[in-house]
Amino acid sequence: MKKVFKNDYAKSLLISGILCFIVLMIVSPISCRLTEEGIEIIPADTNAPSILSFSVTGERLLNLSCSEKIVLDQLTVREFQGESSDEGDLFLLEEEPYAYADCITYSENMMDAEIYLSESTRVGKEYVLSGIVYDRSGNSLEFSQQFSGFNANPARLVLSEVRYNSSKPKKTEFVEFYVLKSGNLSGLEFVSAANPKRKYVFPAIEVKRGEYIALHGQVYDGMEYNAIDELENDLTLSTATESCDTGRELWRKFTDKFVSKTDVILLRDSCKNKIMDALLWTSVEGSEWSKNLKELAEEVQIAGFWENALSPENAFRTETIKSSAVKSLARQNILLLAEKYPESEEIPDVIPANACDWAVASSATPGYKNK
C-alpha cells in the first residue's frame, strides 16, 4: 500500500510539473535544455541590442558596433534638412531616401558591421541613417543616427584660449582654436560639460594652417547685425565687440551658458567618433567632478589627452581669476606645437596636454596670438 502511494504521489508531481511547464511556455518566452539533473528552463533574452559606436570612414562607408550579435535591415540614408533638438529628436527629413545599403559586411563575431552605401555622401551635408537592428533572439531596435558627409581633408585644430563668465557688457564667453593643419572643419564639434546639450557643430569651411578661430559663446541684443560668421576668406566681416580682422570669427547664436568656471571641454571629430583635443579646469580646491564633468573627464582620460583626468586635482587651477574678471586661460605651447608638427608631416591622433601647458593671461585676445 505504501509503494502504491509513492507512485501516485510521483505521478501527481510529474503531472503538476508538466502543467506548470505548459503554462510557462504559453505566458513567457523561454527555452530549455537537458542536463544530468533533468530539464533546465532558460529565460529568453528580451532586451533589444544597443548601438555602442558609429563612425564614417569613407564617402560610402559607415561603421556600426553593437552590444551583441546583430543583423541589420531596412537601412536608408536621408539628407538632413533641419537641426536636432535638445532631446535629440530629428525632423525635417526629405521623404525620398538619398541612399540605401548596397552591401553590409559583418565582423567574425557579428557585433560590428560595415555598411557600403549606394551613393557617396558629400562634405558639408548632414544625413540620417535609419534602420532596424536584430539580435539572435529576435529582439529588434529601430534607430536613427545623424552624421556628417565624409570629410576627405579634415583640418586639425587645438584649443588655444578660453574665457568664461564675462560680466562686462557684450564681452562674450569664447573658446579659441589654432589651426595646426589646413583643411575642412566639417564633422568637428565642440562640447562643454557646462552645457552638453548645446554642442557646437562647426560649419564645413576651409581653414589654413596658422589661423586663429574664435568661437564666441553668445550673441546679445544689439549684436545681431555685427556678429557675422566668417565662412570664407574675408576675415573682416564680423564687427561685433572683440572681433579680430586677422582671426576668423564664429558665433554661437544663443545667450545661455557656454563654458563655466569649472568645466571639461573637448573638440571632437564626430565622423570618426574621436576626441581631437581637451581642456579641464577647476576653481575650487579639493572638489569632485559633477556627473556631466565626470563623464567627459572619463572620455578624455580614456582617449589619452589628459593624464588622470578623473581627478580634479590634475586639472588647471583658476583660483587667481575673479568672477568679474575678463582674463582668460591661454595655452602657452602653441608655437612649440606648430614647430614640432609642420604642415608637411603627419600629426599624431593624440597630442597629450596637462595643466602646465596653460596659464592665466593678463587680458583676453580672441583671434590673436596668446599673451
Domain boundaries, the chain: 51-148, 156-361
Give the pLDDT confidence of 106-120 residue by residue, as tens digits: 999 999 999 999 999
Rounded to the nearest integer, the mean pLDDT of the chain is 84
For residues 52 and 279, which has the higher predicted lDDT (pLDDT)? 279
The CATH code of the domain at 156-361 is: 2.60.40.1260
Facing residues of 42 across strands?
A: 31
pLDDT tier at 7, thresholds 50, 70, 90:
very low
pLDDT tier at 3, thresholds 50, 70, 90:
very low
For residues 85 and 196, which has the higher predicted lDDT (pLDDT)? 196
Answer whether 197's CB lies under 8 Å from 86's CB: yes
For residues 289 and 10, which has the higher predicted lDDT (pLDDT)? 289
Whether 351 shows a pLDDT value over 70: the answer reads yes
- State the CB neighbour count (10 A cutoff) for residue 285: 9
Whether 350 shows a pLDDT value over 50: the answer reads yes
Mean pLDDT of 8-18: 51
pLDDT tier at 167, thresholds 50, 70, 90:
low
Mean pLDDT of 79-99: 62
pLDDT at 2: 36
Whether 85 shows a pLDDT value over 50: the answer reads no
CATH topology of domain 51-148: Immunoglobulin-like (2.60.40)
As a whole number of angstroms, the distance between CA 23 and CA 16 comes to 11
3-state secondary structure the chain: CHHHHHHHHHHHHHHHHHHHHHHHHHHCCEEEEEECCEEEEEECCCCCCCEEEEEECCCCEEEEEECCCEEEEEEEEEEECCCCCCCCCCCCECCCCCEEEEEEEECCCCCEEEEEECCCCCCCCEEEEEEEEEECCCCEEEEEEEEECCCCCECEEEEEEEECCCCCCCCCCEEEEEEEECEECCCEEEEECCCHHHCEECCCCEECCCCEEEEECCCCCCCCCCCCCCCCCCCCCCCCCCCCCCCEEEECCCCCCCCCCCEEEEEEECCCCEEEEEEEEECCCCCCCCHHHHHHHHHHHHHCCECCCCCHHHCEECCCCCCCCCCEEEECCHHHHHHHCCCCCCCCCCCCECHHHEEEECCCCCCCCCC
Asked whether the domain spanning 156-361 has the same topology as the one spanning 51-148, the reply is yes
> What percent of the chain is modeled with pLDDT above 90?
59
Whether 82 shows a pLDDT value over 70: the answer reads no
Whether 236 shows a pLDDT value over 80: the answer reads yes
- State the CB neighbour count (10 A cutoff) for residue 229: 16
pLDDT at 284: 80
Mean pLDDT of 198-226: 93
Whether 67 shows a pLDDT value over 60: the answer reads yes
Range with the largest mean pLDDT of 86-90, 144-148, 304-308 = 304-308
Q: What is the pTM of this model?
A: 0.80
Mean pLDDT of 139-155: 91
Mean pLDDT of 83-104: 68
